[in-house]
């Protein structure tokens, strides 16, 4: 008599953990403000993204939001005149500040934009943290240090993303981050603990999850559907 084959049920493999969205995922555009009067009334927590023109600020925001065209870079560096605000799923706001330091912009116009940026950074009561975008190949420049000097004494946290780190080898990336940290220790010895520096690349996604973790500590994860 032919023996009956035993039917063995396959045990299911381990369940995969659901993807936890980053704090900037699901961001939606709210308004572009060209003057302080056009900014929304202070209510929800805000995170500001700042940096020199061509440092990769728009690319960094898009990478963190897992989008390709949420934040736009002007075709002519230094020509963005507005603070663009985006609403996050958890209710907080992201402020994409105009790039600064581009030499081809007329002095009077450049000064007006930078005054608007500085006023926002120093007086906005709902601003809980600043993300400064710095090209890893060039490090902190005088205008970056000026901006930090206006913000760091408040005690609020700063995240410096050393962008375009994919263009450096591993040793060069470590050296670039170390140089930024040393510049911070020299300029702000009493406040260096409130500043985090991460090697970052929007292209290779280097440092993306580390940046997510920092931003989530500031405003919480993107938990709302």
* 126: its two tokens: 């709902």
Of 78-82, 140-144, 183-187, the range with the lowest mean pLDDT is 78-82
Q: Reply yes or no on whether the pLDDT at 174 is more than 70.
A: yes
- Distant-in-sequence, close-in-space partners of 35: CB < 8 Å, separation ≥ 6: 116
Whole-model pTM: value is: 0.85
Give mean pLDDT, residues 108-120: 77
Give mean pLDDT, residues 34-43: 89
Give mean pLDDT, residues 129-152: 96
Q: Where are the domains of the chain?
A: 28-218
Give mean pLDDT, residues 195-203: 97
pLDDT band with cut points at 50, 70 and 90 for residue 18: low
The answer to whether 127 and 121 are in contact (CB under 8 A) is yes
pLDDT score for 118: 85
Q: Which residue has the higher pLDDT, 24 or 16?
A: 24
CATH topology of domain 28-218: Rossmann fold (3.40.50)
DSSP track, the chain:
-PPPPP--PPPPPPPPPPPPPPTTTT-EEEEEESSGGGSPPS-S-EEEEEEBTTSSHHHHHHHHTT-SSSS---SSTT---SEEEEE-TTS-EEEEPPPB--TTS-HHHHHHHHHHHHHHHHH-TTEEEEEEEEETTT---HHHHHHHHHHGGG---EEEEEE-GGGS-HHHHHHHHHHHHHHHHHH-TTTGGGEEEEE--TTT-TTHHHHHHHHHHHH------
Give mean pLDDT, residues 178-183: 98
Give mean pLDDT, residues 160-177: 97
Average pLDDT, the chain: 85
Q: Reply yes or no on whether the pLDDT at 102 is more than 70.
A: no
CA distance 108 to 124: 24
Give mean pLDDT, residues 170-187: 97
Q: Which residue has the higher pLDDT, 100 or 4?
A: 100
CA distance 154 to 130: 11
Other CB atoms within 10 Å distance of the CB of residue 191: 18
pLDDT band with cut points at 50, 70 and 90 for residue 221: low
pLDDT band with cut points at 50, 70 and 90 for residue 70: confident
pLDDT score for 80: 59
Other CB atoms within 10 Å distance of the CB of residue 172: 14
Other CB atoms within 10 Å distance of the CB of residue 190: 8
Give mean pLDDT, residues 169-196: 97
């Amino acid at each position: 008599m032919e023996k009956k084959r035993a039917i063995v049920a396959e045990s299911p493999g381990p369940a995969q953990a659901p993807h936890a969205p980053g704090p900037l995922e699901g961001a939606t555009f709210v308004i572009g403000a060209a003057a302080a009067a056009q900014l929304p009334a202070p209510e929800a927590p805000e995170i500001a993204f700042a940096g020199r023109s061509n440092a990769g600020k728009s690319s960094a925001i898009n990478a963190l939001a897992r989008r390709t065209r949420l934040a736009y870079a002007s075709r002519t560096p230094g020509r963005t005149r507005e603070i663009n605000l985006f609403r996050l799923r958890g209710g907080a706001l992201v402020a994409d500040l105009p790039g600064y330091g581009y030499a081809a912009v007329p002095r009077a116009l450049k000064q007006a934009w930078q005054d608007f940026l500085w006023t926002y950074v120093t007086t906005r009561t709902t601003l809980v943290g600043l993300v400064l975008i710095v090209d890893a190949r060039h490090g902190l420049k005088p205008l970056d240090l000026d901006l930090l000097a206006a913000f760091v004494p408040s005690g609020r946290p700063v995240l410096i993303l050393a962008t375009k780190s994919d263009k450096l080898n591993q040793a060069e990336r470590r050296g670039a981050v170390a140089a930024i940290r040393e510049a911070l220790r020299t300029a702000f010895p009493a406040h260096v603990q409130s500043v985090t520096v991460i090697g970052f690349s929007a292209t290779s996604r280097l440092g993306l999850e580390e940046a997510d973790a920092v931003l989530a500590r500031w405003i919480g994860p993107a938990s709302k559907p």
